[in-house]
Structure 1
């Protein structure tokens, strides 16, 4: 009788997940450099998805990043503990899906706003769920704090505390927070 070898699937899922924020943030930043009209204080990141010079790069980065992030949900499922750990994996999978869909339903499309809003709400939900699931660990506490800070940043923006008229700054902060969680704080991050 042969013994079953352990699966490499969680390792591959973690690697894909760690590549996702690099691809996504890299595409976003490169698109901001390529654009001759983008301004951090006056634009939304999604403006990059409709301009001819940057749309393929920006939208492609979101779609590829979302696809790379999806296997990471499996790693979170495997590495998570209990029902809240599993719920964190589900929230993450939905966040990754909506991130990719922002690149499909570009600004001006009727589904763009619901998809983009869902992405940022699901990022917050993922971080807070992870924080509650791992509340006795430092990484869990930091995850919850980042989730609350992310939501607070949007509340401040909506209430008028802004760097100009655009959405790009809070959007990018949210993307960086999500990337930091994926790469370092999450149960499947590099610090595990």
Structure 2
């Protein structure tokens, strides 16, 4: 089970690392004018971005086994979240399934972090998980409400990447309670 506990953080580092590396490699990406998924269709970054999301999903999959020990519901939410993340890499922007799987990733990731935070709300890590999920949700509300520096989705998407990654690496039950 020790290896399973490390799979989630490793998958998060692989996926987030690929996303951030692609932003640095891109000559056209803008945090205020682009969506992160734009990196999945640009020739200079498509393989890095899409491959990183798929690889992160594959590497992180075993983490659901560790999460299952603490809460099967959270484990299923996590597994569905990373499956949706990997599907974003398989179905890049411009393909019919892209929008639904991208939305599914952000909704499922936020719901998973919220469910875990609510269940463990008596602990500091549970309350922090709830705060991160709330901030991510508020970021989208602000964006949809027109409070944004530009038309791009990258900044509220970044909030989701940070929220989910921080939860996996520092706040999720097997990492913090075992």
TM-score (norm 1): 0.89
For 2:19, the equivalent position in structure 1 comes to 28
Q: Secondary structure at the match of 1:52?
A: coil
For 2:137, the equivalent position in structure 1 comes to 151
Displacement of 1:190 in angstroms is: 5.3
Task: Check whether the contact 1:20–1:66 (CA below 8 A) recurs between aligned residues.
Answer: yes
| Correspondences of 1:87-102 after superposition (within 5 Å) | 87-102=73-88
Displacement of 1:189 in angstroms is: 2.3
For 1:4, the equivalent position in structure 2 comes to none
Displacement of 1:120 in angstroms is: 0.3
For 2:123, the equivalent position in structure 1 comes to 137
Say which structure is richer in helix.
2
Q: 1:19 aligns with which of 3, 10, 19?
A: 10
Displacement of 1:52 in angstroms is: 0.8
| Correspondences of 1:1-192 after superposition (within 5 Å) | 10-78=1-69, 80=70, 85-189=71-175, 192=178
Displacement of 1:16 in angstroms is: 1.4
Q: Secondary structure at the match of 1:189?
A: helix
Structure 1 unmatched runs, 5+: 1-9
Runs of 4+ in 1 over 3 A off after TM superposition: none
Structure of larger gyration radius: 1
Matches of 1:163 and 1:58, distance apart in 2:
24
